[in-house]
Amino acid sequence: MLATAARWAAKKGKPKMAPIELPAPPEQAQSITRTIFDVVREHGPLTISDVWDHVKDVGLRGLTSKRQMKIMMRWMREKQKLRLICDHDGPHKQFLYTTWFTNPKNAPQRPKRDHHRQQQQQQQFRGEPRKP
CATH number of residue 94's parent domain: 1.10.10.10
**What's residue 68's pLDDT?**
93
Check pLDDT > 60 for residue 54.
Answer: yes
| 45, amino acid identity | P
Q: Is residue 7 part of a domain?
A: no
How far is Cα 126 from Cα 106, in angstroms, rounded to an integer? 40
- How much is the pTM? 0.66
Helices (H), 11-132: 26-43, 48-58, 66-78, 115-126
- Does 11 reside within a domain? no
Residue 103 confidence (pLDDT) above 80: no
How many folded domains does the chain comprise?
1
pLDDT for residue 90 = 81
Could you list the residue range(s) of the whole structural domain that residue 29 is in?
A: 23-105+112-126
Query: What is the largest distance, in Å, between two alpha-carbon atoms of the chain?
Result: 61
Average of per-residue pLDDT values in the chain = 81
Domain presence at residue 56: yes
- pLDDT of 17 over the 90 cut: no
Alpha helices in 90-131 (DSSP H): 115-126
